[in-house]
Amino acid sequence: MKLFIHSWRQITGNLDKFMQITWPLLAFGVLEAGLLATGVIGGSTADGASGGGMGLVFASIFISALVAIAWHRFVLRSESVGQAYAAAQSGKVWRYIGRSILIGLILVPVGMAVILVYALVIGPMIGLPFGTVSGETFVPGPGITPAMIIAMLLVIWLSLRLSVILPGIAMETPIKISESWAMTRRMNGQIVQFVALLAVLTGLGMYIEYMLQPAQTYSFAAGVIGAIVYWFTAMLGVSALTTLYGHLVEGRPLNA
């Protein structure tokens, strides 16, 4: 559990700086919840709503990359908030986004393959089918939840194994994806534990959000809870990458 504890303390031990650096990501999530609650985005017929939704996706990617780089540099280079953000805006953010997309192109087929294997092989074998098709309608089965959970856990694990290249971009130390995979091999046990604990934390947060979400409508309060859950768990993942880079590339101790 050293990786999880170290990443957790990296946040809680620098809470004031953490808030100063990461507040744009949280604010964006709250803004998105407000837009969904008021129907500005998420509409089924308005072309402007769907276009606005895509604009929010791109804005979310940019803000996430900017915040992640600033956090990497604050932790690993002890830069001030202003210095960390200045460094993030110096062209690194686009390289960070580009490599993130490249990793995503690896992760998406893996997740889809896991779901496909479950739907065609595992689900029928254990009596929990993924779903059935009735005419042109897909009817989810009892196996859809375990299939999605398995795929999610595998994708998060794989992303941590491959994404040490990202803090490398922030530190201006280029690392290949193959090198990231190789150097994280000896930390695999710690990464598996981190993924399991992160999944539990995320699941609890999503359950609270679900309980606050009324049927047929979108609750702003539940949306804010969801934004907080995403913000904190996403930054916990960024802290894990920062920790892995510091430990495996720079030789820093992994304290817990």
Q: Tens of pLDDT along 94-136?
A: 999 999 999 999 999 999 999 999 999 998 899 888 888 877 7
User: What's the CA gap between 195 and 135, in Å, rounded?
Assistant: 38
Confidence of residue 42 (pLDDT cuts 50, 70, 90): low
Considering the domain boundaries, does residue 192 fall inside one? yes
Place of tokens 């709503």: 49
Residue 134 lies in a domain: yes
Is 226 inside any structural domain? yes
**Residue 124 counted as domain residue:** yes
Q: Which amino acid is at 121?
A: V
Domain assignment of residue 152, given as a range: 2-248
Does residue 253 fall inside a structural domain?
Answer: no
pLDDT of residue 38: 85
Task: Evaluate whether residue 256 is within a structural domain.
Answer: no
The count of residues in the chain is 256
pTM of the predicted structure, to 2 decimals: 0.91
In a domain, 14, yes or no: yes
Residue 178 lies in a domain: yes
Two structure tokens written together for 77: 């280079």
Q: Return the structure tokens found at 147.
A: 């299939």
How do beta strands 131-134 and 137-140 pair? antiparallel
Q: Following DSSP, what letter does each residue of 154-187 receive, concatenated?
A: HHHHHHHHHTTHHHHHHTT----HHHHHHHTGGG
Total domains present in the chain: 1
